[in-house]
Chain A
């Protein structure tokens, strides 16, 4: 987990509220990713970034938006949280388009 932090680490929120998760890296890596991990589904890519202000959608992007205004920060926003977005969210970084390094995760519970 060195070089990558996620905040908050745990969050409980109510349906319909906006939620923002933050990923911060100190490695100056170009690529950053947001995944969600659910039982029976493994990890699924939500959005990724290939540079400042350059982002693209992943496999499960509906209901999520991202922003990257600085190399070191990648924000994931749930515009209006739903119970189906209860999950563990992982941020990952990579210098080239191969090996990814993961943060410690954020556990989100939407009631």
Chain B
């Protein structure tokens, strides 16, 4: 399967600390995306990084991509209680076509006030 895998499965930190989540995938990609899901809600797009990019920032989010290792990381700096959610990476697959996004099983982040 092309499905990515996030690590860790669950992460609990204190408010103000940084949170790092990792994603590994299996085949060549065009881009990798990170999504967030609050409990009982749909997914919300956070950031997209293309295969020719190594790092991207958006507010308190920093994403890195290492295509040689087929891995990505999402860093949330200065976490807030409102960041509590599940975070998913999603990859397309060059051979599968851009319509097929493959999601990992997610990292459940809990930020303790």
Give A contacts to B, CB under 8 Å.
1, 4, 31, 33, 35, 40-45, 48, 50, 56, 58-59, 90, 92, 97-105
Contact = CB atoms under 8 A, between A and B. Distances in A.
Nearest to B86: A42
Interface residues of B, number: 24
B34 to A, nearest CB: 11
A98 B104 CA distance: 17
5 contacts: A42-B3, A42-B88, A45-B101, A97-B92, A105-B40
B113 interface: no
Contact of B88 (A40, A43, A48): A43
B99 A97 contact: yes
Interface stretch (B42-50, B57-65, B73-81): B42-50
Contacts of A92: 42-43
A48 B98 CA distance: 11
Contacts of A99: 33, 45, 48
Interface of B: 1, 3, 31, 33, 35, 40-45, 48, 88, 90, 92, 98-106
A102 B104 contact: no
Contact of B106 (A42, A48, A50): A42
A59 B97 CA distance: 13
Contact of B42 (A56, A58, A105): A105
A44 B40 CA distance: 17
B101 A102 contact: no
